[in-house]
Structure 1
Amino acid sequence: MAKRIFSGGAEKASGNDGNTRTSITQFIPGTEFDAKMKRVTRCYMLKSRRPQQAASVQFFADYEKSVGNYIVDIDGNALLDVYMQISSMPLGYNHPAVLRALADPVNQIAPPGLSHATTMMCGSCSNENAFKTIFIWYAEKRRNGAPFTKEEMESCMTNQVPGTPRFSILSFQGAFHGRTLGSLSTTHSKYIHKMDIPAFDWPTASFPAYKYPLNENVRENRQEDERCLAQVDELLEKYKTEKRMPVAGVIVEPIQAEGGDNHASPEFFQELQRITKKHGAALLIDEVQTGGGPTGKMWCYEHFDLDSPPDLVTFSKKMQLGGYYHVESLRPKQSYRVFNTWMGDPGKVILLEAVLETIRKENLLHRVTTVGDYTLKQLTSLQDEFSTIMNSTRGRGTFIAFNCVSSELRDAVIKKLLSKGIQVGGCGTAAIRLRPALTFTEQHADIFLDALRSVLKQQRF
C-alpha cells in the first residue's frame, strides 16, 4: 500500500543553491504512476509475453521539473537524489550553467601527463576501443616498426595468426567495465551480465577485499594487497609463457563501483603499475564512474601518487561523453584504426565545457571533499549506533558506500528510503552507494542522514 510522505521539494532554478524546499504531499507510487505502469506492462506483455523490463521500474521521472539535487516523478513527488543516474549528473538536474551551455566554446580537460584524447559514445565502447589501442601498441612493439607483412594482412581477414594475435587483457574479480564483447570479458561483478555470452580466455586476478575499519586492520589489509599483487605478477608470467597469450594491458577501476564500491590502497596501485611496467604491458585505469570529480579530485587515480601517469584513462558518466586519454606512445601510426561515424557525440563537449567551468567557478571539488568528509563522519556514527544492521562505511569525497548485513536487508533499506523521498542505489552483494551531484551540500546530506536514521530505527522491514 502506498504511503503518504513529505517528499523533499524542489530547488531554486536561479542559482541552484539547493536550500529551498517545498511541501509536496503525494503518494509513492501515485495515480499517474499506476496508470502508466499498467500501460507499460501491457505493452511488454503484447510484445514479448513476459514483462521482465516492467518489473525494474521504480517510478517515472519528470526531467523538466527535476531541479538540482531533486528528481521529480510524474505524480509531483520530489525525491532527494543521491544516486544521480548512477553517477552521471555532475551538477544535478537542469543546472543554469548547463542550460546556457550552447552559447559557450568547446573545451578539453586531460589527466596530468596524458596528451591525447579519443572520444566515444559510452563507457563500454571507451574501454573496448582502449583495448584496441593497447593491442595495436603492443603489436607494434613486437613488430619493431616493420610494415605489415602480406601474411599478416591476409590471415587477419580470416581471424587467424599472425594477423590476429593471441593477446590478452588482465582484469580483476568484482570488476565492471561494460557490456560489449571485449569489455564484458573483463567484467566479473554479476553473472547476469555474462550469462550465455562468449568470452575471451583472459586472466582474472583477485582485487583486495579489505577489513574495516581500515585503521584497525592495517596488517591484514597490507597482506591482502601483497596476495593480490603476487597473483597479478604470476598471471602475467603464466599467460606469456604457458598460455602463450601475453597480457598486453591491465585494466582496473580506482574504486570497483558495480562490484560493491571496493577500495584499494595507493600502495596497491603504485605496485600494480610497477608490475605492469616490468612485464611490458599498458596500465588502463577505468574512470567511467570515478572521473569528473566525485572523489574530490578530477581523476581518482590522482589520490594514488603514482610514479608516472597511467598509460590510458577511460571516462564517461560525469564527463557527458565517453572516451579515453592516453600517452603519446599509444597513438596508432595509421589512420582509421580506431574510428566510428561521429567519434562519440561532439555536441556533448559543449555541455562538458559548462560543467568544467562551473566546477572551477564554484570550487566544487573542494565542496565534494568537505561534504564527503562530513557525510562519512555522520555515517560512521550511524554505523556505531546500528552495528547490527550496517558496517564497512567507506568512500572518497562523496563517492561513498556502506554495507548492510544481508542483501535482503540492503534491498529493504533502499525501498524504505524511497518511500521517504530518498533515491539511492545498491551495488555488490549488500552495499548501498551514494552518487550525488557535485553540488550536493551538507544540508542535502542531513536530509539523507535523517531519513536513513529513521529507516534504521524501524528495525523491521
Structure 2
Amino acid sequence: MLKAALRRGVSKPSCLSSIRFSSSVAAQYFPNEPIKPQFVSETIPGPKSQALNNELGEVFDNRATYFVADYVNSLGNYISDVDGNKLLDVYCQIASIPLGYNNPALIEAAKSDDMLYAIIDRPALACFPSSNYKQILQEGILAAAPPGMTKVWTALSGSDANETAYKAAFMYQHAHKRGSLDFTHEELTSVMNNKAPGASDMVILSFDKGFHGRLFGSLSTTRSKAIHKLDIPAFPWPKAPFPALKYPLEEFKQENHAEEVKCLEEFERIIVEDYKPHSIAAIIVEPVQSEGGDNHATSFFFQGLRDITLKHEILMIVDEVQTGVGASGKFWAHEHWNLTTPPDMVSFSKKFQAAGFYFSNPELQPNQPYRQFNTWCGDPSKAIIARAIYQEVSKHGLVEKTAQVGDYLYDGLKQLVNKYSSKVSNLRGENYGTFIAWDCYDADVRNKVLLESRKRGVNIGGCGDVSIRLRPTLTFERKHAEILLQVLEDVFRVV
C-alpha cells in the first residue's frame, strides 16, 4: 500500500478548488523540505524501527511508540523514521513543535553562547539567577504574555506549571484569610503531620473531561480518562460539567446556549451549596479540552465562569499548555473570549518549549522566600528557545498565517465530513486556526483512520474516546493542507 501511494503521489484534493499560494515561510526556513510524503519500507513502523524499539523496550517503557524517529533527517513539517520514511506530521510531538523540525532560527539559538552557559552551568534560578535572565524573559516569554499579565513563574513542564499555579492560589487565599497575622504555632506544627489548619483544606475545581497533567495535584484535576488516574491517590476535589456542544454550531444555537447556561448554573450551585464560602481556592479550565476530546465552549460560557469566580472571590487559572502559542489563530486561545477581566493565571508549555504560568497580581507571589521554590525553577536554556520561538513567530506573522491556513483547512474538512458523514462528524474548530478536530463513528473507525493515514504518509493523533485532533506546526501551509486533505479523503473512502 505504501509503494502504491508513492507511485500514485499526492494530488490536489478533488473536493477543493484551485487556490493561489501566499509567500511561503516554510520554503524560506526549509528549502529542502519534502514536497510530499516519502516511503522506503513496506510498513510503518518499518523493520529498523521495530528492531530499535524492541531494544529500547529492554530498558524503557516503549509500549506507546508509533515508530522510532530520526530527528537528524526530519525537516520542517515532515518527521523521518529510522527506516527513511518521511511523514507529514500533524501531531508534532503531541502539539509541541512550533516552527517545524530542525528550524534554522532555533538551531542558531541553540548554538549561542547564552545557550552554552545555560546548559553546562544550569543555575538554581531562585538562588543564583544569571545576569541576563530578566533580559531573556523580557525578550521572549514576557514579550508574549497574555493581555493583563506582567509576571511569570517559570517551571519544568506543563504539569509542573499547573501544580505551581495551584500552590500560588492556595498561598494567596490563605494569606487573605490570615491578613496581617503571622503563622500560628498550631499551623506550623499541624502541617508537619499533614493536618489542618497548617495543611490546607481548600480545593481546586476542575471540569469534567479536562486534562491538566499527571503529577499529584494536576492529576487530581484531570478528568479525561480513567487509565490516567487509576491506583494513584487523589485529592477529593470537585469537578463541574463542561458544555457538550452539538455541531454544526449554526444549527444548534438555542440548544448549545441552553447547555452552557445549565453548566454555569451547576458550576455556581457547586460553589454555593457543596462548599463553604472561600473554600474553593481556584478553578482551572482549558480553552479547548484537548486530551478529553477537543471539547469547545463559547465566549459566553467562559465569560460566565469569570463573572462567577469574581463574584465568589475564586481565582481563575486558564490552562494554555496545549492551546497556547498561536495554533488557535491567536497567540493565546483565551484571547478569543475577549474577557472583561483577565484570568488570574495562565499556564503554558508545549509549543513554547518552556513552561510556567503568567500572572499580574503581586500577591500571587508569596511574601516569604522558599515557598514557591525548587532547585531549578525552570530552565534558562528553554527560555532561550522560547525567546527565539516568539521572535520568529512575530517576525513572520505566523499567528495570522495559521489563522488563514486554518480557515482553508476547515473549509476542506467540512466538505469531507459532509461527504463521509456516516463515518465522521462533529467537525469543530472553525475560526480557531489549525486547532481542529472531528469525531469518528466509533473507536474502531478512529483507530483505522489513524493507521491508514500513517500508511499513506501522514502522522496524526487522536484524543478523547472517538476524536481525531490536528496539531500541526505554525509553518504548516496550504500546500501541506492539500496533502492532508487528499490523504484523509483517501482514508475516509476505505475505512
Give the whole-Å Cα distance in 2 for the aligned partners of 1:337 and 1:74. 45
Counterpart check, 1:113 vs 2:148:
yes
1:344-367: per-residue Cα shift (whole Å, max 9, x none)? 111111111111111111110111
Please tell me whether the aligned partners of residues 203 and 239 of structure 1 are also in contact (alpha carbons under 8 angstroms).
no
**Paired amino acid for 2:92:** M
Q: 1:23 to 1:455 in 2, by over 3 A?
A: closer
Please tell me whether the aligned partners of residues 27 and 33 of structure 2 are also in contact (alpha carbons under 8 angstroms).
no
Please tell me whether the aligned partners of residues 39 and 457 of structure 2 are also in contact (alpha carbons under 8 angstroms).
no
Number of residue-to-residue matches in the alignment: 448
Counterpart check, 1:57 vs 2:65:
yes
Please tell me whether the aligned partners of residues 3 and 419 of structure 1 are also in contact (alpha carbons under 8 angstroms).
no
Counterpart check, 1:443 vs 2:451:
no
Equivalent residue for 1:77, pick from 85, 98, 117: 85
SS, match of residue 313 in structure 1: strand
SS, match of residue 169 in structure 1: strand
Q: Report the Cα offset of residue 321 of structure 1.
A: 1.1
1:308-339: per-residue Cα shift (whole Å, max 9, x none)? 11000000001111100112231211111111
Counterpart check, 1:374 vs 2:414:
no
Q: Report the Cα offset of residue 39 of structure 1.
A: 2.7
**Paired amino acid for 2:90:** V
Residues 195-234 of structure 1 aligned to structure 2 (within 5 Å): 195-234=230-269
- Please name the residue that 2:125 is paired with: none
- Please name the residue that 1:100 is paired with: 108
- Please name the residue that 1:39 is paired with: 55
Q: 1:15 to 1:278 in 2, by over 3 A?
A: same
SS, match of residue 205 in structure 2: strand
Structure 1 length normalisation: TM-score?
A: 0.93
**Paired amino acid for 1:6:** L
- Please name the residue that 1:185 is paired with: 220
Equivalent residue for 1:432, pick from 465, 468, 477: 468
SS, match of residue 198 in structure 2: coil
**Paired amino acid for 1:362:** H
Q: Report the Cα offset of residue 25 of structure 1.
A: 3.4
SS, match of residue 21 in structure 1: coil
Give the whole-Å Cα distance in 1 for the aligned partners of 2:63 and 2:185. 54
Please tell me whether the aligned partners of residues 4 and 26 of structure 1 are also in contact (alpha carbons under 8 angstroms).
no
- Please name the residue that 1:167 is paired with: 202
Q: Report the Cα offset of residue 35 of structure 1.
A: 2.5
Residues 374-383 or 12-21, more deviating = 12-21
Give the whole-Å Cα distance in 2 for the aligned partners of 1:387 and 1:24. 30
Residues 195-274 of structure 1 aligned to structure 2 (within 5 Å): 195-241=230-276, 246-274=279-307
**Paired amino acid for 1:276:** T
- Please name the residue that 2:378 is paired with: 344
**Paired amino acid for 2:482:** D
Counterpart check, 1:156 vs 2:191:
yes
Counterpart check, 1:453 vs 2:489:
yes
SS, match of residue 263 in structure 1: coil
**Paired amino acid for 1:336:** Y
Give the whole-Å Cα distance in 1 for the aligned partners of 2:358 and 2:274. 27
- Please name the residue that 1:50 is paired with: none
Give the whole-Å Cα distance in 1 for the aligned partners of 2:99 and 2:37. 23
Q: 1:245 to 1:361 in 2, by over 3 A?
A: closer
Equivalent residue for 1:26, pick from 40, 45, 49: 40
SS, match of residue 235 in structure 1: helix
SS, match of residue 356 in structure 2: strand
SS, match of residue 132 in structure 1: helix
Q: Report the Cα offset of residue 113 of structure 1.
A: 0.8
Q: Report the Cα offset of residue 245 of structure 1.
A: 8.1
Give the whole-Å Cα distance in 1 for the aligned partners of 2:237 and 2:26. 50
Q: Runs of 5+ in structure 1 lacking a partner?
A: 48-52
Give the whole-Å Cα distance in 2 for the aligned partners of 1:25 and 1:89. 23
Please tell me whether the aligned partners of residues 5 and 26 of structure 1 are also in contact (alpha carbons under 8 angstroms).
no
- Please name the residue that 2:29 is paired with: 15
Q: 1:457 to 1:333 in 2, by over 3 A?
A: same
Give the whole-Å Cα distance in 2 for the aligned partners of 1:149 and 1:59. 56
Give the whole-Å Cα distance in 1 for the aligned partners of 2:334 and 2:27. 34
Give the whole-Å Cα distance in 1 for the aligned partners of 2:164 and 2:74. 34
1:252-282: per-residue Cα shift (whole Å, max 9, x none)? 0000000000000001000100111111110
Equivalent residue for 1:302, pick from 323, 335, 347: 335
Counterpart check, 1:330 vs 2:338:
no
Residues 423-432 or 53-62, more deviating = 53-62
SS, match of residue 275 in structure 2: helix
Q: Report the Cα offset of residue 240 of structure 1.
A: 2.9
Give the whole-Å Cα distance in 2 for the aligned partners of 1:452 and 1:212. 20
1:180-228: per-residue Cα shift (whole Å, max 9, x none)? 1111110000001100111111111110000000000000000110111
Please tell me whether the aligned partners of residues 390 and 403 of structure 1 are also in contact (alpha carbons under 8 angstroms).
yes
Please tell me whether the aligned partners of residues 133 and 338 of structure 1 are also in contact (alpha carbons under 8 angstroms).
yes
**Paired amino acid for 2:464:** G
Residues 377-388 of structure 1 aligned to structure 2 (within 5 Å): 377-388=411-422
Q: 1:2 to 1:36 in 2, by over 3 A?
A: farther
**Paired amino acid for 1:330:** L
Could you say which structure has the higher strand fraction? Answer: 1
Q: 1:12 to 1:302 in 2, by over 3 A?
A: closer
When the two chains are superposed, the root-mean-square deviation of aligned CA atoms in Å is 2.1
Equivalent residue for 2:309, pick from 267, 276, 279: 276
**Paired amino acid for 2:381:** G
Q: Report the Cα offset of residue 17 of structure 1.
A: 5.4
SS, match of residue 39 in structure 1: helix
Equivalent residue for 1:364, pick from 398, 401, 412: 398
Give the whole-Å Cα distance in 2 for the aligned partners of 1:123 and 1:62. 25
SS, match of residue 344 in structure 1: coil
**Paired amino acid for 1:163:** G
Q: 1:17 to 1:266 in 2, by over 3 A?
A: farther
Counterpart check, 1:353 vs 2:361:
no
SS, match of residue 324 in structure 2: coil
1:396-445: per-residue Cα shift (whole Å, max 9, x none)? 11111011010110011000000001001000011000000000001000
Give the whole-Å Cα distance in 2 for the aligned partners of 1:19 and 1:67. 6
Q: Report the Cα offset of residue 136 of structure 1.
A: 0.3
Q: Report the Cα offset of residue 14 of structure 1.
A: 6.1
Give the whole-Å Cα distance in 1 for the aligned partners of 2:330 and 2:294. 17
Q: 1:132 to 1:239 in 2, by over 3 A?
A: farther
Please tell me whether the aligned partners of residues 13 and 67 of structure 1 are also in contact (alpha carbons under 8 angstroms).
no
Q: Runs of 5+ in structure 2 lacking a partner?
A: 11-24, 115-134
